[in-house]
């Protein structure tokens, strides 16, 4: 029977596939005694469920390669051994044959008994093995509960999987993306979480805040994820499948239309020129961005060099990476952001730091750089050496006040003198910019502009700091709203202050590449946008439909809005004006 569950679109698109529950649902267990005549049929059902669960594990094992196979293979092998444990299976068979348990009830009783045994053990490792029993029996329960029509089974064999989960971590999503996952449906989450951002970059449709989805879906159900309407449809009807096919055709046509905008100028409908930059961290990101006709690289992330390296990367290793990025840009400016890590990731990057209860408000970004001067100087020297190969701007994250940026400028000048003395040809002048992502930097931006050559607004962090709402905390995810009046007023203040100072200001958070935000950002006077390369064409198209003069006239009303409803109404007005 067709059922639809509403959610919030976090990554666009549609996908048709069979459900794969990351956390199996809480099953409804029938505890009524089984008639004698049905006992052997119930045993057969149980054995089929075990066979399906074994095949699921074997298929997962076959899909794994490289380091992932090593990391995950151990627990898969442990689960596979449990599925073949004769004592486990015989015990459940005995419950059905002697106690007239139904298969699901027998599984639950066996699970409860075994988990209780493990929980009573003193050894922490052995206690943790109870989780394996729980997971394995839950997988068999899922196989037992699967119900799909023959037609759905035929379709399911031809399509991939829809991940259905309460929440998914970015690392987990990155691993799953290469193994047949077509879309993600989460019971909680935010469209602005790191996982949602990753889903968009991987082109995986994603819905969050889908109520009761874990309770009502089963492994193997055929499901249609529709991020256009914000719903997941289980057992889709013929009409749903027709809409999916229409969406596929329309997406193809739209992609072909947008492809024609590659290399085009970015201008509003009334002819005002805007500049689109790309966020990047790999050479292929830069190459793709150039092919799309960007004005430059607005944010080159350097964290990957540290996180992917065994120990701290040397000056020469960093120099080679930055040089290749600059050369790859082909003369376009490259804005290199200095290391933006905190205590939560420092160990993985080869840095020694004390753990912190709240890394987001701790030693991260420039705070870390100014504490670990040797590491920072090495990075600055590498960037300065790379600047000989093309225009480079240095961007400093997590600036709180102007004194930090002044200290960075002093270190850059000192590094430049040392490099020139050593025979390196270093440009005489460097453009130094500040990330505006801390409220104090935004409020006191005029002082910052006395030192900075340019600004880049990090709207992701600025929003969460202004609203005191972690975008990755599902409990407060709904509070994280970039269109909140306080956030918009702060954006407007930073943009207007930079314009009055005659210095460039860009926005490099998620909303920079969101077509729904294009009219608002134009209204606030933003002219430089930096985003993932795959957002360039859609945002260029959205900006080309904006009437800048009309939207700028709307800005005072936008900034006087009192709440979310007022903002939403003005957003509709802005869109209509565009």
**Cα gap 208→187, rounded to integer Å:** 6
| CA-to-CA dists, residue 208 to 16, 62, 119, 204, 484, angstroms | 17, 30, 34, 13, 20
219: left (phi over 0), alpha (psi -120 to 50) or beta: beta
Nearest to 143 by CA among 105, 179, 104: 104
Q: What tokens were used for 168? A: 């998914």
Which residues, including other chains, have CB under 8 Å from residue 564's CB and lie 6 or more apart?
A: 481, 483, 484
Ramachandran category for residue 455: left, alpha or beta (phi over 0 → left; psi -120 to 50 → alpha): beta
What would you report as the CA-atom Rg of the chain, rounded to the nearest whole angstrom? Answer: 28
| Cβ partners under 8 Å of residue 404, min gap 6 | 366, 367, 370, 396
The first and second tokens of residue 117, run together, are 């045994």
Helix/strand/coil percentages in the chain, nearest 5: 55, 15, 30
Q: Find residue 62's DSSP bridge partners.
A: none
Q: Annotated active-site positions, please?
A: 194, 508
């Amino acid at each position: 029977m067709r059922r639809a569950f509403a959610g919030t679109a976090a990554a666009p698109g549609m996908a048709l596939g069979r459900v794969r529950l990351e956390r199996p649902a809480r099953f409804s267990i029938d505890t009524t005694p089984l008639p004698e005549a049905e006992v052997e049929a119930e045993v057969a059902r149980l054995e089929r469920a075990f066979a399906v669960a074994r095949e699921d594990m074997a298929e997962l094992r076959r899909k794994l390669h490289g380091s992932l196979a090593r990391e995950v293979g151990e627990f898969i092998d442990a689960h596979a051994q449990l599925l073949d444990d004769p004592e486990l299976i015989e015990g459940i068979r005995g419950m059905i044959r002697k106690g007239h348990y139904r298969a699901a009830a027998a599984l639950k009783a066996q699970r409860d008994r075994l988990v209780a045994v493990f929980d009573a053990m003193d050894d922490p490792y052995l206690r943790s093995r109870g989780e394996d029993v729980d997971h394995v029996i839950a997988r068999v329960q899922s196989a037992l509960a699967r119900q799909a029509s023959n037609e759905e089974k035929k379709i399911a064999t031809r399509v991939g999987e829809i991940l259905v989960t309460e929440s998914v971590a970015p690392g987990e999503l990155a691993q799953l993306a290469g193994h047949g996952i077509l879309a993600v449906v989460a019971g909680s989450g935010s469209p602005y979480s790191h996982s949602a951002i990753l889903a968009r970059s991987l082109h995986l449709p994603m819905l969050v805040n889908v109520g009761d989805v874990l309770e009502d879906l089963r492994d193997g159900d055929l499901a249609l994820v529709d991020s256009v309407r914000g719903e997941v449809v289980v057992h889709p009807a013929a009409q749903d499948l027709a809409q999916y096919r229409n969406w596929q055709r329309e997406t193809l046509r739209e992609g072909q239309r947008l492809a024609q905008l590659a290399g085009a100028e970015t201008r509003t409908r009334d002819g005002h020129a805007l500049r689109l930059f790309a966020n990047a961290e790999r050479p292929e990101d830069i190459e793709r961005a150039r092919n799309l006709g960007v004005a430059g690289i607005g944010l080159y992330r350097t964290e990957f060099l540290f996180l992917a390296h065994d120990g701290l990367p040397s000056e020469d290793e960093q120099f080679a990476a930055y040089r290749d990025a600059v050369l790859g840009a082909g003369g376009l400016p490259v804005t290199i952001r200095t290391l933006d890590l905190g205590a939560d990731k420092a160990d993985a990057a080869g840095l020694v730091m004390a753990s912190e209860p709240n890394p987001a408000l701790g030693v991260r970004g420039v705070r870390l750089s100014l504490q670990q001067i040797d590491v920072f100087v090495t990075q600055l020297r590498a960037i300065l050496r790379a600047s000989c190969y093309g225009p480079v701007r240095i961007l400093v994250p997590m600036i709180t006040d102007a004194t930090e940026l002044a200290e960075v400028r002093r270190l850059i000048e000192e590094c430049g003198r040392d490099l020139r003395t050593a025979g390196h040809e270093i440009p005489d002048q460097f453009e130094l910019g500040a990330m505006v992502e801390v409220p104090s930097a935004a409020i006191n931006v005029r002082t910052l502009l006395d030192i900075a050559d340019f600004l880049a607004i990090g709207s992701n962090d600025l929003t969460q700091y202004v609203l005191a709402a972690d975008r990755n905390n599902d409990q407060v995810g709904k509070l994280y709203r970039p269109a909140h009046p306080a956030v918009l007023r702060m954006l407007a203040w930073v943009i207007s202050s930079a314009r009055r100072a005659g210095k460039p200001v860009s926005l490099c958070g998620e909303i920079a590449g969101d077509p729904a935000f294009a009219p608002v950002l134009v209204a606030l006077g933003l002219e430089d946008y930096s985003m993932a390369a795959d957002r360039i064409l859609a945002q260029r198209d959205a900006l080309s439909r904006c009437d800048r003069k009309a939207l700028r006239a709307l800005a005072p009303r936008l900034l006087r809005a009192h709440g979310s409803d007022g903002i939403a109404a003005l957003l509709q007005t802005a869109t209509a004006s565009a």
